[in-house]
């Protein structure tokens, strides 16, 4: 390399799933040469269903118009901002001014980095949940901020311990990241939690960033943190069409908050792009107008998938919450799991230095059964004994995965 990379990149690695997909791609090439089936990937939460047909039709119709191919507004077209505002009013009971309190994004993941760049200076501190979405940590580190993790534990229902937060919240803390329904655990949001977070933020003068893309998945009570009085004073909320409308590849999300906060994010975003493709914005507006029937149908399918995913955890020997929300199933590997037994060579499967229980089981299932299940350690140390199954595979695929795992179990049990 002719020059040294920026020092800020020394604190982050290539995203785990980017690296893992390369590994699985190589495995699939080798398996194809041997005439074996491709790996069944139960890792990433990328919805496999179709978006609303009305949204696809709106995209195609607008793409035929010459005016659609020009640069677009940095703040999004009025139709999309209005649609986001109405979506919040109908489903969350929250009023957002479409002109000043909403910023469309290229997916909510973009918003995590934009917020970090807009509000963090080097040596500022950021409170990040463990377990939690790894991008909260990496985006903070890219700005030079210091990450301070706060614990989420199964015995507390994966809720924050506010006594711990009080101790961690020094004067250098500027942002607290939160995410409910929680990824990866599926713990639901509640008004009690959101009220406590808003009170905490106001008392400490910090910004709470609520990442809220899972609120419609296997959840009959979608909530926004803006339902709490005074939340706009101290909170930003991210949302997305990726999960709720099967539009992950479209990269359409939003950020909401009081005008001054949104304007700071726009200051950064306007340096990075020149607006979103107009047909996509019109399609998103159409998708957002879908009513409760759309979400009911979506969740009918996810409920069936969750049952099938539960069978996999039953086979693996992992304990899970049958009432969790979101599009993942989170399970704790039990000590008696057959996949923690030693191999024929008298050793545990090689998963790197000091592998966690979840990592050991994940690697063994991948290499022996041809099924990839995400190890929980990537979400933090509190996920080290856990596995996560994505529900973004249909029931037949989940059943094939279970059959493959069951075949491996038979071999293990006969040795």
Which whole number is the average pLDDT over 262-281? 95
Q: Which of the listed residues 267, 290, 313 is the one where a domain comes to its end?
A: 290
Whether 54 is covered by a domain: the verdict is no
Whether 198 is covered by a domain: the verdict is yes
Which residue's entry shows tokens 């005439």?
35
Structure pTM? 0.93
pLDDT tens for residues 19-42?
A: 888 989 899 898 888 888 999 999
Which residue's entry shows tokens 């595979």?
393
- Is 72 a residue whose pLDDT tops 80? yes
Whether 32 is covered by a domain: the verdict is no
Whether 74 is covered by a domain: the verdict is yes
Whether 14 is covered by a domain: the verdict is no
Report how far residue 388's alpha carbon sits from residue 332's, in angstroms, rounded to the nearest whole number.
9
**One domain, residues 300 and 284:** no
pLDDT tens for residues 121-163?
A: 999 999 999 999 999 999 999 999 999 999 999 999 999 999 9
**One domain, residues 219 and 366:** no
370: left (phi > 0), else alpha (psi -120 to 50), else beta? left
How confident is the prediction for the chain on average, in pLDDT? 93
Confidence category of residue 93, pLDDT binned at 50, 70, 90: very high
Bridge-based pairing of strands 102-105 and 253-256 is: antiparallel
Number of other residues whose CB lies within 10 A of the CB of residue 322? 8
**One domain, residues 128 and 276:** yes
**One domain, residues 236 and 349:** no
Q: Which of the listed residues 256, 290, 324 is the one where a domain comes to its end?
A: 290
CATH number of the CATH domain containing 299:
3.90.1150.10
Give the structural domain span for 349: 294-413
DSSP secondary structure code for residue 152 in this structure? B
**One domain, residues 219 and 299:** no
Interacting residues of 127 by C-beta distance below 8 A, sequence separation 6+: 148, 149, 150, 165, 168, 169, 173, 175, 176, 177, 206
Strand boundaries in 65-195, DSSP class E: 102-105, 125-130, 146-151, 173-178
Whether 42 is covered by a domain: the verdict is no
Interacting residues of 152 by C-beta distance below 8 A, sequence separation 6+: 129, 130, 131, 132, 158, 159, 160, 182, 185, 187, 382
Which whole number is the average pLDDT over 303-325? 97
Say how many domains are in the chain. Answer: 2
Report how far residue 118's alpha carbon sits from residue 112's, in angstroms, rounded to the nearest whole number.
10
- Is 348 a residue whose pLDDT tops 60? no
CATH number of the CATH domain containing 274:
3.40.640.10
The predicted pLDDT at position 411 comes to 84
Confidence category of residue 345, pLDDT binned at 50, 70, 90: very low
Strand boundaries in 77-206, DSSP class E: 102-105, 125-130, 146-151, 173-178
Whether 382 is covered by a domain: the verdict is yes
Contact by Cβ (8 Å): 178, 149: no
The SS3 assignment for 333 reads strand
The predicted pLDDT at position 342 comes to 61
The helix or strand, by DSSP H or E, that contains position 373, with its residue range, turns out to be strand 371-375
């Amino acid at each position: 390399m002719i020059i040294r990379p920026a020092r800020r990149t020394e604190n982050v690695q290539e995203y785990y799933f980017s690296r893992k997909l390369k590994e699985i791609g190589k495995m699939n090439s080798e398996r194809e040469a041997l005439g074996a089936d491709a790996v069944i990937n139960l890792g990433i939460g990328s919805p496999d269903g179709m978006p609303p047909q009305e949204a696809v039709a709106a995209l195609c119709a607008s793409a035929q118009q010459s005016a659609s191919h020009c640069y677009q507004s940095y703040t999004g077209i009025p139709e999309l901002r209005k649609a986001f505002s109405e979506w919040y009013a109908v489903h969350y009971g929250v009023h957002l001014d479409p002109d000043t309190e909403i910023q469309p994004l290229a997916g909510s993941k973009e918003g995590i980095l934009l917020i970090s760049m807009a509000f963090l200076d080097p040596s500022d501190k950021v409170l990040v949940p463990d377990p939690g979405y790894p991008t909260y940590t990496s985006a903070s580190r890219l700005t030079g901020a210091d990450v301070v993790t706060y614990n989420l534990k199964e015995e507390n229902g994966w809720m924050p311990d506010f006594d711990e937060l009080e101790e961690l919240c020094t004067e250098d803390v500027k942002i607290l990241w939160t995410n409910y329904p929680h990824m990866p655990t599926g713990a639901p949001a509640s008004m009690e939690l959101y009220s406590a977070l808003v009170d905490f933020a106001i008392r400490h003068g910090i910004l709470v960033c609520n990442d809220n893309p899972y609120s419609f998945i296997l959840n009959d009570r979608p909530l926004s943190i803006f339902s709490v009085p005074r939340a706009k004073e101290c909170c930003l909320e991210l949302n997305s069409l990726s999960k709720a409308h099967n539009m992950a590849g479209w990269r359409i999300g939003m950020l909401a908050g009081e005008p001054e906060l949104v304007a700071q994010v726009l200051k950064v975003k306007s340096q990075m792009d020149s607006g979103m493709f107009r047909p996509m914005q019109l399609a998103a507006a159409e998708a957002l107008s879908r009513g409760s029937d759309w979400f009911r149908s979506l969740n009918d399918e996810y409920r069936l998938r969750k049952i099938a995913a539960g069978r996999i955890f039953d086979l693996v020997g992992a304990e899970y919450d049958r009432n969790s929300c979101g599009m993942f199933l989170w399970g704790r590997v039990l000590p008696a799991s057959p996949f923690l037994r030693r191999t024929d060579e008298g050793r545990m499967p090689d998963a790197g230095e000091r592998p966690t229980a979840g990592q050991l089981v994940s690697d063994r299932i991948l290499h022996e059964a041809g099924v990839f299940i995400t190890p929980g350690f990537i979400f933090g140390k509190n996920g080290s004994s856990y596995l996560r199954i994505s529900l973004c595979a249909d029931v037949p695929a989940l059943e094939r995965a279970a059959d493959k795992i069951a075949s491996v179990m038979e071999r293990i049990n006969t040795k």
